[in-house]
Structure 1
Amino acid sequence: MRMDMSRFLTHALLLLMVVLWTLPTVGLLVSSIRDKDQLSVTGWWSALTTTERTDQGRTDAAAAQVQENGQYVISGDLFDGDAAGRQIQFFGVTNSTYNDNAAGSTITLKNGSNLTVNADGSYRWVSAEPFETTRGQRVLYIAETPPRFTLENYAEVLESEGIGRSFINSFTVTIPATIIPILIAAFAAYALAWMQFPGRSVLVAVVVGLLVVPLQMSLIPILRLYNGVMPLFGAESKSYLGIWLAHTGFGLPLAIYLLRNYMASLPKEIMESARMDGASHFNIFTTMVLPLSFPALASFAIFQFLWVWNDLLVATVFLGNNDRQLVLTGRLRELIGSRGDNWEILTSGAFISIIVPLVVFFALQRYFVRGLLAGSVKGG
C-alpha cells in the first residue's frame, strides 16, 4: 500500500511538472492564432470565451443623407462591414453614457435628432432639419465578440516582417554547425577511446577542461584570430563560414566528451574480433562503432542544434546585423524593439522560432536519455 502511494505521488509530481512546462508553449500557440484585437485585451486562457470590449465608431457625414417622408436620414454600419461576429450590447455618444442605452433603442441628441443603433452595428440617424455635420456623429459602444482564430498573424510576420528570410538563414547556420562538429568529434572520440598513442590521457584531460571555459571568455580571442586569418584566404570577415567554424569550436569539447565516453563503453570483444579478422581502425569505426553510437550522436545533435538555433551572441558577432544574413533570434530582437506593442506579431514570430527545435527534439528524444546515460555511467 505504501509502495502504491509512493508511485502515485511520483507520477502526480511528474504530471504536474509536464503541465507546468507545457503551459507556456500552449499559451504561446493560442496567442499566436488569436485575433489581434482580442489578444490585446484578454489573456490566452480566455480564448474560447466571448469577450466584451469598449470601442467607438462614427456615422457618415451630411453628404450621405437622404430625404424620406419629409425627414432627413443618415444610415450605415458602425462596423464598416467588418463585424466579425460582434454584437453591440450598449451604446451612447458621450464617455458617461455609452453603457446607458441598450442596442436597438433610440436616443435623442442635443440637436433634436434621433439616433438608433442596432446590435449588428447598423444605425439610423433621423432629423427634421437637414444635417450639416462634416464628420458625422461619434458613437461609443460595448460589443461582445465571439472567439476568433486566424493565421493572418503568421502570414504577416513571414511576408512583411522578414521572419521567412531569417528562418532560412537560421537553417543555413544551424545545419552545418551541427553536422561539422559531429563529424570531427566522432573521429576524435574513436581515437581517444580505442587507439593507443602518446599523450592520449593528456588530450582527454584537455577536452574535459575545455568544457568549463565560458564562451564569453573565448569569444573575443577567437574573433581576433579569425579576423587575422580569414583575409589571408580572401574570405569575408562576416560570413557563414566564420559562424560555422565558431560553433564547431565551441561545440567540439562536449561532443568529443560524450562520444568518447559512449564509444569506450562498447564491448571490447567486438573490437578484438574485428582486429583478428584483419579490419583496420577505419573499417571498425565506419562499419561498427558509428552505427552502435547512434544514440550518443543523436544526443549531441539535439544539444548542438538547440544551442545554435537559439543562439544570438555568436550570430551577432560573426554575422552582424546585416538584414540579408540576420538569423531568427536577431529578427525577433528587432521586432521586440520596433513592434513591442503588437503581441500578435511577437507571439507568432516566437512560435515559429520554436517549431523546428520541437520537431528535432521529439524526433530524436527516444535516443536522448539512452545516449547520455550510457556515456556518463560507463565511461572508461
Structure 2
Amino acid sequence: MHASSSKKSPLTWAVHISVVALVALWLFPTVGLFVSSFRTADQIANTGWWMALFTQERQAPAIRIAGNEAEIDGEFVIEGSLFDTTDATISRWGTSSRAPEAYEPGEVVDLRDGQMLSVAVDGAFRLSAPQSFGDGRLPRVFTTATTPPEFTLQNYRFVLFDPSNREGMAKAFFNTLTVTIPATVIPIVIAAFAAYALAWMRFPGRSLLIAAVVGLLVVPLQLALIPLLKLHNDIGIGKGYLGVWLAHTGFGLPLAIYLLRNYMVGLPRDIIENARVDGATDFQIFVKIILPLSFPALASFAIFQFLWTWNDLLVALVFLIDATGETTVMTKQIVELLGTRGGNWEILATSAFVSIAVPLAVFFAMQKYLVRGLLAGSVK
C-alpha cells in the first residue's frame, strides 16, 4: 500500500517535465543575452554564446603584410605583427586562399624572386628579399588562430556612458523609470481604496460596480487608445508624462481592483468588526489593518504593473513619444537600434539586457508574494 501510494502518477511527471521545459525556454535566451552583452563583435559573429568560455579556433580574413623595409646584412627586410592587440595563437598559416593552412608557425617559406617569409606563433612575421620591395604589392597571409575567452565592459560603456552614442540608451533608461514608477504607484493607491470599499463597505450599486470591474478585464485596451488620446488633446494634456501615467492607471485599475478586492474579502472578519466596536473609522481600519495584511496582494499587482509598463511600447507611442525624441522609452529605443545598428549585435545584446535587468531584479525580489497574491480569495 505504501509503495503504491508513494509512486508518482504519469500526470505528475508530465507536470514536472513541462515546468523544467518552460524554465529552460526562459533561462537559455536570457543567459545567452547576458553572455553576449560582454562579448566583442568579432566573437559574436563567429561563435555562439555557449562557446564563450572555450578557446576558439577559426580562420581569420586575409591580412596583407605592411611595414617599413630596412636593409640588414645586404637583405631588405620587413618585420611586424599580423595582429594589433589580440592574444591569438596561430596554429597554421598560408599565402593562398586555396591552401590557407599550408605551413606551420615558424616555417620559412620561399615565395618568389628570392622572397622569404616566416610567421611566428604570436603573429610576428619576417619578410626578406635580396632587392628592395619598392612599390610592389606585398603578399597576403591567411591564418588559422586560436583565441582565448575574452570579455569586455566596453559594450556597456558605449551604451550607457559614451557621449558619441546618439541613440541615448541611458536617457531612455531614465525616461522609462519616469514612466514606470508613477504608473505603478498611482493605480495601486487608487485600487486599494476602491477594493476596500467594494469588499467591506455597504452601499447601493456595489454588486453592479464589482460586475463592471470584472467586465472591464476583458476589454482590449486598443479600443480606448484613440478616444482617450482625443480626450487628452481636448483637455490640454496632449502627449507627455501626465498623459501616459493616466493611461496606464486607467488600463491597470480593473485588474488591480479585482486582485485586491478578492484578497481583502478573505481577511478575518472578526478583526475588522472588533476594530469598529472599538470606535475605529473606516479610514483607520484601512490604513492600520487592511493595508498591512494586504501586502502580498499589493506586491503581486505591483509586479504585474511594473513589468507591463516597463515593457510597454504601444501606450508610450500613443500617449508619450513625440517628434523630438526627448521622452523616448527603452522599448522604442531598441526598435530604433534594430534599424540603425542591425549588424552591431554586441550593442543590441547589451541594450536588450539593460532593458530587462530592472524587471528581472524586481521579479526575483518580490516573487514570493506573486503566487500568494494570485491565489487571493480562491480558497476559503
Aligned residues of 2:259 and 2:376 also touching (Cα < 8 A): no
Q: Distance in 2 between matches of 1:117 and 1:154?
A: 36
* Equivalence for 2:144: 142
> 1:175 is matched by which residue type in structure 2?
I
Aligned AA for 1:130? S
Contact 2:58 2:145 in 1 (8 A): yes
CA distance in 1, matches of 2:233, 2:366: 36
Match of 1:259 in 2: 260
Letter of the 2:27 counterpart? T
Question: Which of 26, 35, 53 is equivalent to 2:31?
Answer: 26
Matches within 5 A, 1:65-214: 65-80=69-84, 82-83=85-86, 85-133=87-135, 136-159=138-161, 160=165, 161-214=167-220
Q: Deviations over 1:326-365 (max 9, x none)?
A: 1111111111111122111111111111111111111111
Gap change, CA 1:202 and 1:38, over 3 Å in 2: same
Question: What is the aligned partner in structure 2 of residue 41 from structure 1?
Answer: 46
Distance 2:258 2:229 in 1: 24
Distance 2:17 2:210 in 1: 42
**Which range moves more in the overlay, 246-255 or 269-278?**
269-278
Cα 1:102/1:290, change in 2 over 3 Å: same
Confirm or deny that 1:307 pairs with 2:312: no
Alpha-carbon distance in structure 1 between the residues aligned to 2:17 and 2:206: 47
- Deviation at 1:17? 3.6
Tell me if the contact between 1:154 and 1:348 (Cα under 8 Å) persists in the aligned partners.
yes
What secondary structure sits across from 1:124 in the alignment?
A: strand
Aligned residue pairs total 369
Partner of 1:221: 227
Q: After superposing the two structures, state which structure 1 stretch, 287-296 or 320-329, moved more.
A: 320-329
Q: How far, CA to CA, are the matches of 1:278 and 1:134 in structure 2?
A: 101
Taking the aligned partners of 2:233 and 2:272, their CA distance within structure 1 comes to 44
| Conservation of the 8 A alpha-carbon contact between 1:92 and 1:98 | yes
For the 8 Å contact 1:57–1:79, the answer to whether it is kept is no
Any conservation in 1 of the 2:88–2:146 contact (CA below 8 Å)? yes
Mapped contact 1:210–1:253 kept (Cα < 8 A): yes
Q: Quick check: 2:155–2:350 contact (8 Å CA) kept in 1?
A: yes
Contact 2:264 2:294 in 1 (8 A): yes
Distance 1:258 1:152 in 2: 44
Deviates more, 1:148-157 or 1:319-328: 319-328
Q: Which runs of 5+ in 1 are unaligned?
A: none
CA distance in 2, matches of 1:136, 1:199: 90
User: Measured at CA, do residues 261 and 181 of structure 1 come closer, stay the same or move farther in structure 2, by a change above 3 Å?
Assistant: same
Offset at 1:323?
A: 2.6
Shift of 1:367: 1.0
Alignment-derived partner of residue 269 in structure 2: 268
Q: Aligned-pair distance for 1:111? A: 3.7
- 1:214 deviates by 0.5
Distance 1:377 1:227, change over 3 A: farther
Structure 1's 279 and 11: CA in aligned 2 closer, same or farther, altered over 3 A? same
Q: Does 1:340 align with 2:345?
A: no
> Cα RMSD between the aligned structures?
1.8
TM-score computed with the length of structure 1 as normaliser: 0.92
Q: Which amino acid aligns with 1:140?
A: F
What residue in structure 2 maps to residue 247 of structure 1?
248
SS at match of 1:6: coil
Distance of 2:140 and 2:127 partners within structure 1: 12
User: AA paired with 1:336?
Assistant: L
Could you report, residue by residue, the CA deviation over 1:203-242 in whole angstroms, capped at 9, with x for unpaired residues? 111111110000111111111111111x2xxx4x221111
Distance between the aligned counterparts of 1:200 and 1:302, measured in 2? 28
Q: Using the TM superposition, name which of 314-323 and 7-16 deviates more.
A: 7-16
Residue range with higher mean Cα deviation, 255-264 or 313-322: 313-322
The residue aligned with 1:373 is 375
Amino acid at match of 1:213: V
Contact 2:64 2:138 survives alignment (8 Å) = yes
Asked whether the equivalents of residues 240 and 321 of structure 2 are also in contact (C-alpha less than 8 Å), the reply is no
Q: Can you list the C-alpha shifts for 1:40-65, whole angstroms capped at 9, x where unaligned? A: 1111111122112222322224xx11
Change (3 A) 1:247 1:65: same
Rounded Cα–Cα distance in structure 2 between residues aligned with 1:152 and 1:4: 55
SS state at 1:132 partner: coil
Q: Contact between 1:75 and 1:123, CA under 8 Å: does it hold in 2?
A: yes
CA distance in 2 between counterparts of 1:54 and 1:24 reads 28
